[in-house]
Amino acid sequence: MKKSLIVLCVVAILAAWSSCAKKIEVKEREIGGMKFVWIPSGTYTMGSPEKEEYLADARPQHEVTVDGFWMGKYEVTQKQYHEVLGAKPSLFKGDSNPVETVSWGDAVNFCKRFGTKNKVTARLPTEAEWEYACRAGTTTGFYWGNDYNDAKDYAWYGNHFSERKTYPVGQKKANAYGLHDIIGNVMEWCLDWYAVDYYKNSPRQNPQGPFVGTQRVIRGSSCKGGGGSSYWRYKIVPTFRTEDIGFRVVVAGP
């Protein structure tokens, strides 16, 4: 009996220690009315495990190191987009809903204008930065674990957890870095050109994607569907606009 109690106590202590060890301090700042969270530098394993046969373009898994950066806590909202560019392109209307129906060029233009207005270097995240920020230290399929059904607490995602429309940002639980809706609501433009075999030749330090291409990377899945996992990637021509693609902003650290 005593042995059992001792074992249980040791297990409880180790579990508590593990939980504390994984806890990430969320660091925030506000720029131009937009909230950002700090994503610390680090190394992680990027890409899909071999068992995900349909994600051939997300393999092989490979180690990547990224420098620290500030990332929008939420997807850029329709109100923020209008304040910077004076436009209201979204199909699903709502000041606090993510802006959508924007091309890659529209997103880049917003970042440039926002950066100039607030005297910061603002841009879209690279694909490697996006996945690193989404994973937030996890190695599971989703940043909440491996159970797809838990998405209901974390993401407006697909037919099961949304009405195939966007919702005000920040209503679902954040990941460990404090990012909301990084899976679900709208998919998000990344800075990179897309290449199906890029992971085979990707540099380890701050990969920027191919030098040229015809399609840009999007990540994150949406209220209408998509891959969902932290490592799912998709591509589309940069001029394309649709009601389930938006973006979030990255600002250079520190």
**Is residue 1 one of the residues assigned to a domain?**
no
152 band by pLDDT with thresholds 50, 70 and 90: confident
Is a pLDDT exceeding 60 seen at residue 8? no
State how many domains the chain has.
Answer: 1
**Is residue 16 one of the residues assigned to a domain?**
no
Report pLDDT digits (tens) over 205-247. Answer: 999 999 999 999 999 989 988 777 899 999 999 999 999 999 9
25 band by pLDDT with thresholds 50, 70 and 90: confident
What's the confidence (pLDDT) of residue 135? Answer: 97
CATH code for position 104: 3.90.1580.10
**Is residue 3 one of the residues assigned to a domain?**
no
**Is residue 46 one of the residues assigned to a domain?**
yes
**Is residue 123 one of the residues assigned to a domain?**
yes
Report pLDDT digits (tens) over 32-53. Answer: 999 999 999 999 999 999 877 6
171 band by pLDDT with thresholds 50, 70 and 90: very high
**Is residue 36 one of the residues assigned to a domain?**
yes
What's the confidence (pLDDT) of residue 23? Answer: 65
**Is residue 44 one of the residues assigned to a domain?**
yes
Q: Which domain holds residue 125?
A: 26-252
Distance (Å, whole) CA 57 – CA 64:
16
**Is residue 240 one of the residues assigned to a domain?**
yes
The model's pTM is 0.89
3-state secondary structure the chain: CHHHHHHHHHHHHHHHHHHHHHCCCCCEEEECCEEEEEECCEEEEECCCCCCCCCHHHCCCEEEEECCEEEECCCCEHHHHHHHHCCCCCCCCCCCCECCCCCHHHHHHHHHHHHHHHCCCEECCCHHHHHHHHHCCCCCCECCECCHHHHHHHCCCHHHHCCCCCCCCCCCCCCCCCCCCCCCCCEEEEEEECCCCHHHCCCCECCCCCCCCCCEEEECCECCECCCCCCCEEEECCCCCCCCEECCCEEECC
Report pLDDT digits (tens) over 114-130. Answer: 999 999 999 999 999 99
2 band by pLDDT with thresholds 50, 70 and 90: very low
163 band by pLDDT with thresholds 50, 70 and 90: confident
What's the confidence (pLDDT) of residue 157? Answer: 86
